[in-house]
Amino acid sequence: MEEFLAYSITLLISLAIVLYYWRGHAKKSAQVKAKVAQAKEEGRFEPVSLHPYIDPNLCLGSGACVRACPEEDILGLINGKATVINASSCIGHGACFHACPVEAISLRIGTETRGVDLPHIKPDYETNVPGIYIAGELGGMGLIKNSAEQGMQAVTNLEKHLVKNHPMEQDLLIVGAGPAGIAAALKAKELGLKFRILEQESLGGTVFTFPRDKVVMTQPVELPFYGKLKLYNTSKQELLAIWLDLLESNQIKIEEHCKVNGIQELGPYQFSINTNKGEDIKAASVLLAIGRRGTPRKLGIPGEESTKVAYRLLDSEQIEGLKIIVVGGGDSAVESALLLMDKNQVILSYRKEHFARIKKQNQSKLEAALAEGKIELKLASNLMEIKEERVLLRNSAGEEESLENDKVYIFIGGELPLPFLKECGIEVEKTFGKVLKKYR
């Protein structure tokens, strides 16, 4: 009898424990379901770039991917299976991919219904044009570690094809001074190649267009002449200082404000590269590390050619006492408005009724700024005309408003440089849910 009683008590305790955890999991699943429903309603569920794809048949529901993701509410668990929540906010850290114990996660770009244009790239990062290589964001991988590794590997691969005593001035011309371009330059220096690196903006401008105010690397990358680079909650200013120190200590000069207008193939591994400075650079190979944004996208409205219009925000601390309108609904627009609000009168205009792609931290900061009256928010509004001292804004009801204005910042993304790529002879294909190469 005592044994039966002990057995019964043990069974009841076990059942109580199971019930407790089951209810806990059910509660968490319900919370995640609610977040997914909200994300779908707000347009955050559909991915816009590189994102995780979870195979439910392989997922064990360990939650390792959720814990590994450095962003908030990108992934969650529903009924013991991982799911994407705010896919549009994912910037492809790849931490979930590395953390999954059963490889149930792949990193993809594009979806079954939303195609993304990508240049055709071979496994060694060479395009269909022999001698022209692509690394980084333009090829689908936009984060520091991924871009840097691709840049270095592309240079390693192209160096094997270089012919000794070729007639070109340079072994390699690198276009773009982001993570892929800088890492490629370091690798080229290590291999003893003769090279130049061009940047159509400035190095600072490139760093400050990164999609997050704080830069996070989930895994370090090994850079020539530096060793392991690991960033955790590193500001853009700190990252810029790291790049500048690396370049200066290795005597690598970035030719800023130098845009490539076209690339002419003279023969196998022989190119003439024309720049906006009227120079024709002869190089045996070319690495394009220019990113997907290419040229900033414009609104196409009267007055947009005005000198008071800008598509980058540099030296925000030096801008004060101005009436500013910031246009856009992404992190770049919100972060810029937050940086400008203390010393200026700032209006943030977005064409949709709510933000769908901004980071949770930026959302919280924006809400606090709105509550304090530091930013005026105009949702469902479109900038219609830019005048010397005013701008014209129109809301969804068709009502127009004329506002005093000194400066306009436009952050609505960039145009993929398709015409440039096609002129170079590089094939571009629309991909639907393509699995991109990653490194474990």
Among the four given CATH numbers 3.30.60.50, 3.90.660.10, 2.60.40.420, 3.30.70.20, the one describing domain 2-109: 3.30.70.20
Q: Do domains 2-109 and 117-296+416-435 have the same CATH topology?
A: no
* Per-residue H/E/C for 311-342: CCCCCHHHCCCCEEEEECCCHHHHHHHHHHCC
Spell out the domain ranges in the chain.
Answer: 2-109, 117-296+416-435, 309-412
In which residue ranges of the chain is pLDDT below 50?
Answer: 438-440
Q: ∠ CA(216), CA(222), CA(224), 5° rounding?
A: 125
Query: Which uninterrupted H or E stretch holds 189?
Result: helix 179-190
Three-state DSSP state, 60? coil
- The pLDDT assigned to 223 comes to 87
**Chain-centroid distance, C-alpha 60:** 29
pLDDT value for 107: 83
d(CA 356, CA 89): 8
Our CA angle for 103, 29, 356, nearest 5°, is 80
Q: What CATH class does 117-296+416-435 carry?
A: alpha beta
Place of tokens 């060694």: 124
Tens of pLDDT, residues 8-57: 666 666 666 656 556 667 788 888 888 888 878 777 777 767 788 899 99
CATH number assigned to the domain covering 309-412: 3.50.50.60
What is each CA distance from 406 to 86, 260, 342, 370, 431, in whole angstroms? 36, 32, 16, 21, 42
CA 159 vs. chain centroid, Å, equals 28
Residue 189 CA to residue 251 CA, distance in Å, equals: 9
Q: Please provide residue 343's backbone torsions phi and psi, each rounded to the nearest 5 degrees.
A: -115, 5
